[in-house]
Amino acid sequence: MPQAASYEQIYQVVALIPPGQVATYGQVADLAGLPRRARLVGTALRHCPAERQLPWHRVVRASGQLAFSPGSAQAIEQRTRLQQEGVIFSHWRVALSRYQWQPSLAEMLHALTH
């Protein structure tokens, strides 16, 4: 189990992303206290245990596109899940200006105590 500590930080942040909103890989890394580790977020999500029920589909690239190639089974699943939460896609991309999660300091502090 490589870098379990970092993975745990990442999972906890991902778990906080509200339905109908998205966060970028880099954003999750920053919030997890792991700056410049966007790729690690991808690696962690790739190994994410199903039993954790993580909202992994709410993590997208900084461009608003999905990390999977358009049309792939994984991309379709991610897009479907987001669409079910009300997120609108145009050409396999979401508008970050509209859907990007912007956690408040209070929100983060509250999470820290739980």
Single-letter code of the amino acid located at 75: A
- How far apart (Å, rounded) are the C-alpha atoms in residues 34 and 95? 25
For residue 15, what are the CA distances in angstroms to 44, 53, 57, 69, 112?
Answer: 13, 9, 11, 24, 13
Interface with DNA (CB under 7 A), residue from 9, 22, 27, 31? 27
Q: How far is the CB of 94 from DNA (least distance, A)?
A: 11
Residue 9 touches DNA, criterion: CB under 7 A: no
Residue with Cβ nearer DNA (26 or 111):
26
- How far apart (Å, rounded) are the C-alpha atoms in residues 85 and 19? 6
Q: Tell me, residue by residue from 36 to 65, as one string, x for binding to DNA by CB under 7 A and - for no binding.
A: xxxxxxxx-xxxx-------x--x-xxx--
Binding site for DNA (CB under 7 A): 2-3, 6-7, 24-27, 36-43, 45-48, 56, 59, 61-63, 67-68, 78, 91
